[in-house]
Amino acid sequence: MTGTDLLKQKGVALLASEKRLSYSFTAFSAPYADLTYHFVSHVLAAHRLSFLENVIMTLLRECVANAVKANLKRAYFDRHAADITSASEYEQLIQDFKQNGVANLEDHIPAMNDLGLKVKVHLETNEHGLRLIIQNNAGMTPEELQRAKERVSVAGRLESVVDAFDEFADEEEGAGLGLILNMLLLKKSGIDPKNFQIASDQANTRVSLTIPRISAVPETVREMYERISAEVQEIPTFPESINRILELCKNTDSSAAMIATQIERDPSVAAGIVRMANSGGFSMGHKISSIQRAVATIGIKNVQQLTLAHGSRSILEQHYSVFQGFWNHAERCALYARLITEQLGLRKISDAAYLGGLLHDIGKIVLHSLDPEVIRGINGLNLDRTENSTAVLEEITLGLSHAEVGARLAERWNFSDELTDVIRNHHSAFAAKPEHRTAVSVVHIADAFIRVEEKKVSYVYFDVEAQGQLGIRRTRDLEALHEHVRGRASLAAGA
């Protein structure tokens, strides 16, 4: 049993006996994120509120990120002997802080420790529900506190994420937008935003969320669940030709020749596998021109993965209108995911990461068919000023994200637990099962790299749990990995 496992056991026992639990940290590193998710998940399950798990963890991560950033800002201003309460000094240093402070948190942790700057998470429960408190020992300036309270107030009158982006996305400080989006998420989940409170004095800042016992999922969300369930059940399962190939690939007695012969019986499958084998860069510098060559070059395991991907694509294209741009993104993400595993020495999960990259967004196709205008609006938003992903914005608007829809489709098609977990949690690595978290993190980073190239997000908003899981500690290390992967992908494209 690991040290983290022991802490989980002790924490759960303390919650059971004392009905409360507190712990502190300087940065919300992967171990603390893991502990926090475990405790929150446990408490919500005990109160039959598990359907709120993603909502509460999304809000918690935003609040913790803001608390860590606030402490970092105090340490940064202290290091530069600047007065954070002085408007002129604040204006002079804030841009430098964003470029060299936020982007390189790890470098400033010793200074934060020297100043005793910590973030405290507190959980307490009673018969009425639970309360979550995040506190950091750096007070807000009067202007910061006023701005935050105004955001909470404004959230009460906004009806959509598009309204929020229109009103606040261009502001200099990005936290206000994230706060409003999370208030909208609470409203969608049936929790009154008034249950969220912010308070600050000269020494501390404290945010609290009271989560009452909610008897059921809100009606609007329940209706969307039912629509999605019905839609997924209408999607066909794999045809016999695909299943036969998959069975042969799984059978250790099957030879490469037997598998190639079976694939060649279906020209569309053969063409699809050859095309993906080339676009995936499986054989750098060597063009794969036939199924016989594909099986010999990339191996039976990879042929199995590409068959699964081709079968999924064929069914979706027969059932829905799918833009080519969707598949271009999927194939690039898959290639990036495989290149990341190679660079980081994670070849054991290379297959899972590649297939996860190909299929991580399949839920978007289903969601788009149900409410195309809403999904187009969300996909058109620039997320560069918020830590919220498109999945969160979908939950705010529709009550269900493309990641969850994709996972339900994966279950319908009997995908492996690991692949289903990658699809479900590629925007929230912290929520993945521990044994799948590395593959989930690789796909998250691969997908985020592409969104950086599309100028839809910045490195500072990458999932910190995913980075920690892969041993990435600094933004410059993330940038270096991206440059390496992009360079290798360009070589593969030129093969």
Res 240: pLDDT = 92
Residue 266 CA to residue 342 CA, distance in Å, equals 32
Single out the residue of 490, 491, 470, 492 nearest to residue 481, CA to CA: 470
Res 112: pLDDT = 94
What are the structural domain ranges in the chain? 3-215, 222-493
Instruction: Confirm if 475 and 103 have CB atoms less than 8 A apart.
Output: yes
Phi, psi of 95 (to 5 degrees): -70, -40
3-state secondary structure of 320: coil
Query: Which residues lie below 8 Å from residue 172, measured CB to CB, with a gap of 6+?
Result: 94
Residue 444 CA to residue 427 CA, distance in Å, equals 6
Res 385: pLDDT = 47
Res 68: pLDDT = 93
Give residue 334's identity as a one-letter amino acid code.
A
Kindly report the pTM of this predicted structure.
0.74
Terminal alpha carbon distance of the chain: 47
Which residue matches tokens 């914005």? 393
Query: What six digits make up the tokens of 368?
Result: 């788009």
Query: Which residues lie below 8 Å from residue 238, measured CB to CB, with a gap of 6+?
Result: 246, 311, 315, 413
Instruction: Confirm if 259 and 248 have CB atoms less than 8 A apart.
Output: yes
Residue 33 CA to residue 467 CA, distance in Å, equals 12
Tens-digit pLDDT string for the chain (495 aa): 577 778 888 988 888 899 999 999 999 887 888 888 889 888 888 887 877 887 888 888 889 988 999 999 999 999 999 988 888 888 888 888 887 888 788 888 999 999 999 999 999 988 878 999 999 998 888 878 888 877 777 776 766 666 666 666 545 544 567 777 777 778 777 888 888 888 998 889 999 999 887 656 667 667 777 888 888 888 999 999 999 999 999 999 999 999 999 999 988 888 888 888 887 667 665 778 888 888 888 888 888 989 999 999 999 988 888 777 888 999 999 999 999 999 999 989 988 899 999 999 999 888 877 766 666 666 655 544 444 556 666 666 666 788 888 999 999 999 999 999 999 999 888 788 889 999 999 999 999 999 899 877 777 778 877 888 898 888 889 999 999 999 998 877 665
Query: What's the CATH code, domain 3-215?
Result: 3.30.565
3-state secondary structure of 119: strand
Query: Which residues lie below 8 Å from residue 39, measured CB to CB, with a gap of 6+?
Result: 8, 11, 12, 15, 21, 123
Query: What six digits make up the tokens of 310?
Result: 């081709």
Which residue matches tokens 């996909």? 379
Res 399: pLDDT = 65
Instruction: Confirm if 367 and 130 have CB atoms less than 8 A apart.
Output: no
Residue 22 CA to residue 415 CA, distance in Å, equals 39
Statement: 222-493 belongs to CATH 1.20.120.140: no
